[in-house]
Amino acid sequence: MLEKTVVEDTGVVKGNIVGVLCYLGGILSAILILALEKDNKFVRFHAMQSAITFVVLIVVATMLSAIASFIWILFALIPLVWMLGLIVFIFLMYKAYQGEKYKLPVIGDIA
């Protein structure tokens, strides 16, 4: 799950800063960085993991919304899903800033 890597520069900005930016802007920044950064595997990993994690959060929240139309109590879980997602993204930004290639279970393997 934890792989310490040497963070390479991506021209003007260090790779760990670009890794943080992958998570900061959600799926938009992840896709933009994937399109622009071709060589740095560290940055590409974090961009891919960010995009996949964001899509999973959207799918889970959408499914809860659909089910909550029948079971009202589930509406309370939707903000909790987004708060959990925010906590995960902050943790992943911290790990990217440290230069660590931290893999989330399942999602990290796909990325």
The answer to whether the beta carbons of residues 23 and 93 sit under 8 Å apart is: yes
Tally the residues of the chain: 111
pLDDT tens digits, residue range 54-82?
999 889 888 888 887 787 777 788 888 88
**Model pTM score:** 0.75
Per-residue confidence in pLDDT tens, the chain, 111 aa:
544 444 455 454 578 888 888 888 888 988 898 888 888 888 888 899 999 999 998 898 888 888 877 877 777 888 888 899 889 999 999 998 888 888 888 887 787
CA distance linking residue 49 with residue 92, whole number of Å = 9
